[in-house]
Amino acid sequence: MEEQPNLSAIQELSRGDKAFENKLLGVIKKELPLEIEAYKKNLKERDFTQTAEIVHKLKHKISILGFEKGYQTAIDYEEGILHNDFLLQHTFEQILVKMRAFIEKF
């Protein structure tokens, strides 16, 4: 079954503190669209060092939103970018689409 975003990691971190959960979700909701746009811009401009740095930032959000396999995809994609290997681009970008749709619910 395909991975879907979830709040498990956030709930585990918060230990039931709803204010903490809401604050963390608010930060992700604010930063995620900006980071996705920066990723797209740098990729389009072929600035692969910056693209890899943004993927590095995004992978932590991928993890916190419950994508275990997605986190590994981000690690591998980040490394691939630095070697001009974009085989995981589509898979990575599908994760971003799911994350964005999920976080918009909050």
- The domain of 58 spans 17-103
Mean pLDDT score of the chain: 97
- Count structural domains, the chain: 1
Does residue 85 fall inside a structural domain?
Answer: yes
Residue 75 has pLDDT above 90, yes or no: yes
> Confidence band (pLDDT; 50, 70, 90) for 65?
very high
Evaluate whether residue 58 is within a structural domain.
Answer: yes
This prediction has a pTM of 0.93
Token pair, residue 25, equals: 């979700």
- Is 4 among the domain residues? no
Kindly tell me if the per-residue pLDDT of 1 is higher than 80.
no
7 inside domain: no
Q: Is 47 part of any domain?
A: yes
